[in-house]
Amino acid sequence: MKREIRSVALVGKYQSPDVAESVLDIARFLRERGLTVWIEQGTASSIGMAGGFSLATYEEIGASADLALVVGGDGTMLNTARRLAEHGVPLVGINQGRVGFLTDIGRDDAIARLAEILDGRCTEEARCMLSVEVLRGGARVFQTLALNDVVVNKGDLGRMIEFDVAINDEFVYTQRSDGMIVATPTGSTAYALSANGPILHPTIGAIALVPLCPHALTARAVTLPDDCRIDISLLPPHDARVHFDGQARFDARAGDTLRIVRSPHVVRLLHPENYSYFAMLREKLHWSATPRPR
Please identify every residue annotated as catalytic: 74
Beta bridge partners of 131: 145, 261
Beta bridge partners of 148: none
Helices (H), 99-242: 110-118, 191-194
CA dihedral 244, 246, 247, 251 (to 10 degrees): 60
Closest by CA position to 9, among listed 55, 42, 52:
55
Report how far residue 39's alpha carbon sits from residue 194's, in angstroms, rounded to the nearest whole number: 35
Fill in the amino acid letter for 293: P
Q: What are all long-range contacts of 40-45, with beta carbons under 8 Å and residues at least 24 apart?
A: 40/9, 40/10, 40/11, 40/12, 42/14, 43/10, 43/11, 43/12, 43/14
Contact assessment for residue 229 and residue 259, using Cβ atoms and an 8 Å cutoff: yes
Q: Could you tell me the end-to-end alpha-carbon distance of the chain, in angstroms, rounded to an integer?
A: 51
Please list, in sequence order, all residues whose beta carbon lies within 8 angstroms of the beta carbon of residue 152, skipping any fewer than 6 positions away. Answer: 161, 163, 179, 180, 182, 232, 234, 240, 241, 242, 252, 258
